[in-house]
Amino acid sequence: MPHSERLAALADTARAIATDVVAPLAEREDHEARWPAEAMRALADAGLLGLHVPEPLGGRGEGLSGLVTIAEVLASESASTAMCFAMHCVGTAVIAAKATDFQKQAYLEPIARGAHVTTLALSEPGTGAHFYLPETAIEADGDRYRLDGTKSFVTNGGHADSYVVSTRAAADAGGDGAFSCVLVDEGTPGLQWSEPWTGLGMRGNSSRGARLEGVRVPRRNLLGNEGDQLWYVFEVVAPYFLMAMAGTYVGVAQAALDTARVHLGTRRFSHSGELLGSEPVLAHRLGAMYIDVERTRRMVHAAAARADAGEPDALVAVLGCKAAAGDTAVAVANEAMTLCGGMAYRDNSRLARVLRDARAAHVMAPTTDILKTWTGRALLNLPLV
């Protein structure tokens, strides 16, 4: 089956899950700040958790285009569910990038079977949006490593089976690298979780803080080489993370557009019987929203395709995608609130949830401002950091 047909089939599978499983539970998950266990189980049963596991290991072998496509589909019904799935996918991609035989057998094959959920643990309270500067310490301790530090905003926190934890390179690593990734299994002694996430938006993704105190893991849990800073950050972590977020926020923008379209296309003025959308200014503003969403979608999918093809300048396009998708999601959600009038302001309306979820785009590291700066520096052939 050609790649485009295969990806279309995966998107159809994701769309069925979004309609049948994600949508009916989205309001409850937002209200209760509840992790989407049913959706993650459905995605696992459909083989979608193995999206980035190589085919010889039983996975789908997809790249960034697959990630963007499915994140967008899920986010059109629930941004939290899309985030949980996407962060699992990014963690999987980081594991798969330089997986050893042990890591293939212990992590990637179970992920492909739908029996293992992983996720990223990069952000820290001290370094904030500078996710590439971890302060979590890793030290050699015989045939193990010892980890000490604090992580924040870990999506799937407390629900995943493993965590891709970023650390400073070990003191005996040599070289100039300052960034390593290591796998920490759920339940490892010394891994302690803070209270569940109850924020303004993205309330269903269990974005929790974690404390690592004397956490010991086998050396075989190290991903890649000691101090793999530049390679891991800008070749794997950043592209997959940024495109996961970009796809998610295109889906959020689409949800806002769909809600406004239904409202303007079904509500009628009682005095004339005409549709609200028949008002020229309202039709004009809806049309502008569509243009913004479609333009951003095409930008995101084009960047994913360029990165999957290995084009040398693809990173520049990728850097701008999360910023563009975040801007679009916030702007379109705000506009939809205006077009839908008082109906949109009732307690916990779907559109209110979409707006709260959209607003998270600008503060999730790397922030919109940082990404726009990086994009400009890349265009000028300057170091990003």
Measuring CA to CA, how many Å separate 17 from each of 12, 29, 39, 70, 111? Answer: 9, 16, 7, 11, 19
Phi, psi (rounded to 5 degrees) for 137: -95, 145
The residue-averaged pLDDT of 333-349 equals 89
Distance CA 380, CA 147 (A): 38
Residues 6 or more apart whose Cβ sits within 8 Å of residue 240: 52, 64, 67, 89, 90, 93, 94
Amino acid at 315: L
Judge whether residue 151 has pLDDT over 50: yes
> How confident is the model over 312-322, as a mean pLDDT?
93
Q: Please report which confidence band the pLDDT of residue 2 belongs to, taking 50, 70 and 90 as the band edges.
A: low
- Among 90-104, 115-129, 175-189, top mean pLDDT goes to 90-104
| Coil vs helix vs strand at 270 | coil
The CA R_g of the chain, rounded to the nearest whole Å, is 21
Q: Grade residue 230 by pLDDT with cuts at 50, 70 and 90.
A: low
Question: What pLDDT does residue 24 have?
Answer: 98
pLDDT band, very low/low/confident/very high, at 93 (cuts 50, 70, 90): very high
pLDDT score for 295:
98
DSSP 169-218: PPTTS-SS---EEEEEETT-TTEEE-SPP--SS-TTS--EEEEEEEEEEE
What are the C-alpha distances in Å from 157 to residues 186, 260, 288? 9, 34, 38
Digit-coded pLDDT (tens) for 256-305: 999 999 999 999 999 999 999 999 999 999 999 999 999 999 999 999 99
Mean pLDDT of the chain: 93
CA distances from 45 to 119, 177, 338 (A): 18, 39, 40
Q: Report how far residue 184's alpha carbon sits from residue 274's, in angstroms, rounded to the nearest whole number.
A: 60
Residue among 46, 54, 51 at smallest CA distance from 22: 46
The DSSP secondary-structure symbol of 152 reads: E
pLDDT band at 174 (very low <50, low <70, confident <90, very high): very low
- Model confidence at 347, pLDDT cuts 50, 70, 90, reads confident
| Helices first, then strands: H and E counts in the chain | 13, 8
161-173: per-residue pLDDT in tens?
Answer: 999 999 987 654 4
Type of residue at 7: L
pTM for this entry: 0.95
Q: Give the chain's length.
A: 385
Encode pLDDT of 175-222 as tens digits: 445 788 999 999 999 999 998 878 899 999 999 999 999 999 999 999
